[in-house]
Structure 1
Amino acid sequence: MDNKKREEILRLLEANARYTPKDIAVMLGLGLEETEKEIKQLEKEHVICGYHALVNWDKTDDEKISALVELKVQPQRGHGYDSIAEKIYQYPEVESLYLMSGAYDFSVILKKATMKEIANFVSTRLAVIEEVQSTATHIVLVRYKDHGTTLVEQKKDQRVMVMP
């Protein structure tokens, strides 16, 4: 299958992981068997790494919070940032980890937890890593949009039409 079709499959699954291979085959004008084979190959190559549901936790009774932690680190000679990243992403509390450009080297997104759990994790797990020079922890107050999906209800136009 050509790269363009592969990318179209990936875009569709990224937009809605509930699409079946049959749905995708119909939308792209492909054969079902060909589409199933390509999706399995993408999973095998670890291009498709998993399927997730996007949950709007603000609409639940869940009281836990999300946090983003910026880390400034000293890269290791001969290993750069990779060995430090490996130490960090091994923790189950770490939802996402990104190497960044700018004032901080890493951006760590922590799983939803209580404020006390987040503070404890940052102070006893992240800040004590030998290469970590500084941390900055940010608490997520409201998620308006996540993974391309708007999570807040858009306001309806309340204006009244006036006829001349």
Structure 2
Amino acid sequence: MDELLKILASNALESRETIARMLNLSVEEVEARIREYEKAGIIRGYQAILNEDRLDLDKVTAVIEVKVTPQREGGFDRIAERISRFPEVRSAYLMSGAYDLLLFVEGRNLREVAAFVSEKLAPLEGVLSTATHFMLKTYKRLGVLMHPESPDERLAVSP
């Protein structure tokens, strides 16, 4: 991957001046390359990584494994794109292995996620089965530890 993209992926708020120094480029070159990546659809957006456990959110996240029947002339793409359009679906991936799609779904509570699965997802033509797993606590998200280790306050034991 391009070094510029690596820098932006780890910290999109890094100043253009600092990025330019890191890459031995001018600020104008860095800005132009970023604009090109945005225009080409390589950079799709910028987001902050939040420690949601520290926020008072009325939200439940579920990971849903979905088995589907691939469609003629479209394979998995058509059904995956259709499922991805639901506002409850935050992320969707085509997978290898025991199931075909992996979804990350959000709702205000367990009932809302269950209603999404039973009323919207499972009845879709081509959906063969689903398995829903609810996320209970986040330890690491997108490479960032959510609960960094606190220094060990115990006394060291020495011989």
Q: Same fold (TM over 0.5)?
A: yes
Instruction: Give the corresponding residue for 1:139.
Output: 134
Instruction: Give the corresponding residue for 1:70.
Output: 65
5+ residue gaps, structure 1, are none
Deviations 1:77-119 (A, max 9, x none): 1210000011101111110000000111000001353111101
Moved over 3 A (4+): 161-164
Change (3 A) 1:163 1:152: closer
Equivalents in 2 of 1:75, 1:162: separation in Å? 61
Root mean square deviation of aligned Cα: 1.5
Instruction: Give the corresponding residue for 1:17.
Output: 12
Tell me which amino acid in the other structure corresponds to 1:126: L
Instruction: Give the corresponding residue for 1:43.
Output: 38
3-state DSSP class of the match of 2:104? strand
In structure 1, which of residues 139, 145, 148 is the aligned counterpart of residue 143 of structure 2?
148
Tell me which amino acid in the other structure corresponds to 2:89: V
Matches for 1:57-96 after TM superposition, within 5 Å = 57-96=52-91
State yes or no: 1:130 paired with 2:125.
yes
In structure 1, which of residues 90, 109, 121 is the aligned counterpart of residue 104 of structure 2?
109
Deviations 1:15-42 (A, max 9, x none): 1111132221122221111111000001
Tell me which amino acid in the other structure corresponds to 1:132: V
Q: TM-score, normalised by structure 2?
A: 0.94
* 105-114 or 139-148, which deviates more: 105-114
Q: TM-score, normalised by structure 1?
A: 0.91
In structure 2, which of residues 93, 96, 113 is the aligned counterpart of residue 98 of structure 1?
93
5+ residue gaps, structure 2, are none
